[in-house]
Structure 1
């Protein structure tokens, strides 16, 4: 086991290959976007590397507790060639030793192997994140109805950053991953291959002040899997909530994704966010899979 605050180029490449292999084997990403960005930017460690026979067998990432998240959070993946040999258990025990009893460990897709590891370590579900999906080909979307004096336009990189961050951090002040964003968080996502400002919609008032936004994302086709659209982030200024603006922004983004020829759209929502789950269910979304944060 090796622990690194920073990754060398060869280590970063090996981690990327491991995560890709795990994704292909499981049909679900092994770690979140935040961890992928941390690996790519060589930031936000520590990184735990487990090797067997000179090959990277397992990887884990640990995020310390913060103002947004009271619990340290961890994510881990084991290369398919090295599974059922104790690598995942070794990584999890190391994480628990480092972070303590308040640690939460994400299991994306909550696969049987993750459930078995949780039982072995006497961990229980502490938080659920749902992935929901809708088939746009068969969906009848309601018309976009904006409040009087509100219009939609697309995001202008850098010029709109301050307003987008203001709304995002106000709307998600409670959220462990989405709250507390800074300019670097936007810049990192703008640098991603999928970024498209034409799919980033802003609801603005007569003074061009941002009231809310819907940032869409397109996942390219991989192998036999078709391209997917995503409701990446929908955020509404708390002062503008309650008038259906979030619903209208969501519909506008879905119409855009459908115009791109995408039939399936996904989103992530906290299982206990009843209002959001209700809104998305009314638009035709249903649960596809569950990510679970396990802890003691």
Structure 2
């Protein structure tokens, strides 16, 4: 078992990416999140810990502001049920930094597949967090509610880097409680704007026409198109000071209409299992539960 802080050698990074591809094909669900996959190639991020063997790979991302460190792991599909998963997680838990808050360490089980459930039980781990994936069809036969914009709100799409500071401000205000989405830097905005999938026409911004500062962002909806058939409600962020104005529904609906126009047939999103308000909004817009990711600890 190898353990390394910081950037991985190219051959190990290639190995990790291959495991992710093979496991995704075998299971129908990706074993690592977008952030964990990005960490495989992240240069110079010494706080990230990598653990690997000939049969598996794990990445450990420290928690923010006392939150638990998060482990994400993948085992070669052809070498499962041979004890490699337990060996990999044992090493990852030993290598993970434990925050001073004592909040411990968590491990994600994407899809909460039977093998992951059994492994968690064998390690006396319990469910600590659920991330639900919801989906709904769009397009012909699956009409969306009309998009009606209040005259006090200006709704437009991304105009360029001049919008980045306000997007960052609203994101960090809206998700100050969220382990992964909160505490972003300008670099994380730039990384996503520079991604191959980014479409400026799919990033919606809502501004207040009635306020004293027309340049102050109220909320945003960042959509993502995975392929010709699947789109995503990637991020919906509303400034807490602007809550109660129906912005979450408005922004979500604007993005759904956009994704339908570009031709996808289905849209997914991720939401915390205990985020009752967001779940209510999405269910009223026709989303239903598709899958679940579970953090064990």
* Length-normalised TM-score, structure 1: 0.92
1:1-296 alignment, distance < 5 Å: 1-5=1-5, 6-42=7-43, 43=45, 44-51=47-54, 57-67=55-65, 70-99=67-96, 102-137=104-139, 138-206=141-209, 207-220=214-227, 227-295=229-297
Report how far residue 97 of structure 1 moved. 2.0
1:236 & 1:79 partners in 2: Cα distance?
Answer: 40
SS at match of 2:204: strand
**Contact 2:63/2:179 (CA < 8 Å) preserved in 1?**
no
Identify unmatched segments of 5+ residues in structure 2.
none
| 1:275-294 Cα deviation digits (max 9, x unpaired) | 10011001000000000000
**Contact 2:8/2:41 (CA < 8 Å) preserved in 1?**
no
Give 4+ residue runs of structure 1 displaced > 6 Å after superposition: none
* Length-normalised TM-score, structure 2: 0.92
1:282 & 1:4 partners in 2: Cα distance?
Answer: 46
Report how far residue 66 of structure 1 moved. 2.0
1:179 & 1:103 partners in 2: Cα distance?
Answer: 18
| 1:246-285 Cα deviation digits (max 9, x unpaired) | 1011001000000011110000000000010011001000
1:218 & 1:238 partners in 2: Cα distance?
Answer: 27
Structure 1's 146 and 184: CA in aligned 2 closer, same or farther, altered over 3 A? Answer: same
2:190 & 2:284 partners in 1: Cα distance?
Answer: 33
**Contact 2:71/2:108 (CA < 8 Å) preserved in 1?**
yes
SS at match of 1:160: helix
**Contact 1:212/1:234 (CA < 8 Å) preserved in 2?**
yes
